[in-house]
Amino acid sequence: MEFLIFIIVFVVIAAILAYMVRIVPQAHSYVVERLGAYHATWTTGVHIVIPFIDRVANKVTLKEVVKDFAPQPVITKDNVTMQIDTVVYFQITDPKLYTYGVVGPITAIENLTATTLRNIIGDLELDETLTSRDIINTKMRAILDEATDPWGIKVNRVEVKNIIPPHDIQEAMEKQMRAERERRESILRAEGDKRSAILTAEGEKEAMVLRATAKKEAMIAEAEGKAQATERLYQAQARGIQAIKDAQPSKEFLSLKSLEAYEKIADGKATKIVVPAELQNLASLLTSAKEFVRDDAEAAKDLKK
């Protein structure tokens, strides 16, 4: 019997000690009340609770909390009703204010977010609402952060997650986007055709320039070739004349060469030949000599017969 009483006493004492010793984990705080009034805020570590006098009123996390609130119906300045849902990132900075500042802090933040969002969207038109998310986020964060200071809450960021306009507005926006894409496609196609035409014209121009340059170079090369040929011909003639001059030919040889030159001229198509007066006698003599030689040849043939 005594052993049983000892065990019961031991269990009771162990339970009381387990109740009295509290370990606060990292990034958490405990709000402790003593006799129903706020007593202390325990941070990370080991703490002792006095039984029946102290109690832990609230266990608060100091981590950043993310709350995704349900879509809220809002009306824009141009009377368009749409659904917008938001995401709020906040952190508890004062566990005491968070515990005693407001009843249901999360619900309070949700309602405050909805009313703030309606006020901001009410000053914007539909197009501004769809294109001004950064402005909406900044304004909401500033308003919520200021409003939640008495609750011991720090609002770090507010994000507009989805903006859902009415079905007819969505259809109109899709048609507008489709028309815009078609317009951009037409512009890109026209710019492509223009660029292609420009490149084609530039290619033809370069080809014409290259052909003209090649033709010019060919003509220059041909002219240079003819000039070199003529120059070499004249050089050869000059060397021939110089050779004749160095040989010191007789007057009769020169006269004979002149007659041969006139004979070549006579073989042409010219109808008149001008013969110098000093060469006429020599030409007559040469003709008579050729006739005499021809007569002797004919006489010899007759004697043979």
What digits encode the pLDDT tens for the residues 150-200?
A: 999 999 999 998 888 888 877 877 788 888 888 888 898 898 888 888 988
DSSP state of 161: E
| Domains in the chain, number | 3
Q: Which amino acid, one-letter code, is at 127?
A: D
Residue at 195 is within a domain? no
Question: 78: domain CATH number?
Answer: 3.30.479.30
Q: Are residues 69 and 158 in the same domain?
A: yes
* Whether residue 52 sits in one domain with residue 113: no
Q: Are residues 55 and 146 in the same domain?
A: no
Torsion of Cα atoms, 273 then 274 then 279 then 284, to 10°: 40
Same domain, 38 and 74: no
Q: Do 69 and 47 lie in a common domain?
A: no
Q: Could you list the residue range(s) of the whole structural domain that residue 50 is in?
A: 2-60
Q: What is the pLDDT, as a whole number, of residue 249?
A: 63
- Domain assignment of residue 205, yes or no: no
pLDDT of 260 = 63
Instruction: Please indicate, yes or no, if residue 183 is contained in any of the structural domains.
Output: no
**The last residue of a domain, from among 26, 60, 94:** 60
Average pLDDT over the chain reads 82
Do 119 and 45 reside in the same domain of the chain? Answer: no
Residue 165 backbone phi and psi in degrees, to 5:
-80, 170
Look at residues 165, 189, 206 and tell me which one is the last residue of a structural domain. Answer: 165
Cα separation, 275 vs 286, in Å, equals 14
Residue after which a domain boundary falls, among 124, 145, 165: 165
Residue 285 in domain: yes
Q: What is the pTM of this model?
A: 0.56
| pLDDT of 39 higher than 90 | yes
